[in-house]
């Protein structure tokens, strides 16, 4: 599972276990969370600034409910990556979530 802005080979691209990512999206779907459950499909998904802000809230919600340290660490890694982009004042780009 790759997470990046423009191309997968970016030096700060995030690469995660697809199985752990699907745990997060599965819980999100069960809780009827919108943004995180959209990422369940194996296709490439791109999130804009508004969706990234929503994603941070949903990741925190899901991580608080899991008794799974690896999934919680995965949620934190995604949150850190997304939050770093949102802290850029003029950032209005897209983040791509790419399945294998």
Rounded distance, CA 75 to CA 35, Å?
14
Evaluate whether 96 touches 45 at the Cβ level (below 8 Å). Answer: yes
Q: What is the pLDDT of residues 53-80, one digit of tens each?
A: 999 999 999 999 999 999 999 999 999 9
Number of domains in the chain: 1
pLDDT category of residue 89 using cuts at 50, 70 and 90: confident
Distances from the Cα of 28 to the Cα of 18, 22, 32, 38, angstroms: 15, 10, 6, 9
pTM here is 0.94
pLDDT at 92: 86
Beta-carbon count within 10 A of 52 CB: 19
Q: What percent of the chain has pLDDT over 70?
A: 98
| Range of the structural domain that residue 51 is part of | 2-98
């Amino acid at each position: 599972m790759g997470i990046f802005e423009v191309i997968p080979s970016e030096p700060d691209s995030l690469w995660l276990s697809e199985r752990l990512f699907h745990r997060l999206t599965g819980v999100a779907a069960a809780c009827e969370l919108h943004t995180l459950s959209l990422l369940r499909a194996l296709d490439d998904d791109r999130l804009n600034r508004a969706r990234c802000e929503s994603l941070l809230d949903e990741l925190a919600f899901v991580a608080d409910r899991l008794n799974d340290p690896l999934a919680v660490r995965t949620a934190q890694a995604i949150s850190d990556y997304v939050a770093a982009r949102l802290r850029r004042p003029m950032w209005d780009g897209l983040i791509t979530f790419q399945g294998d």
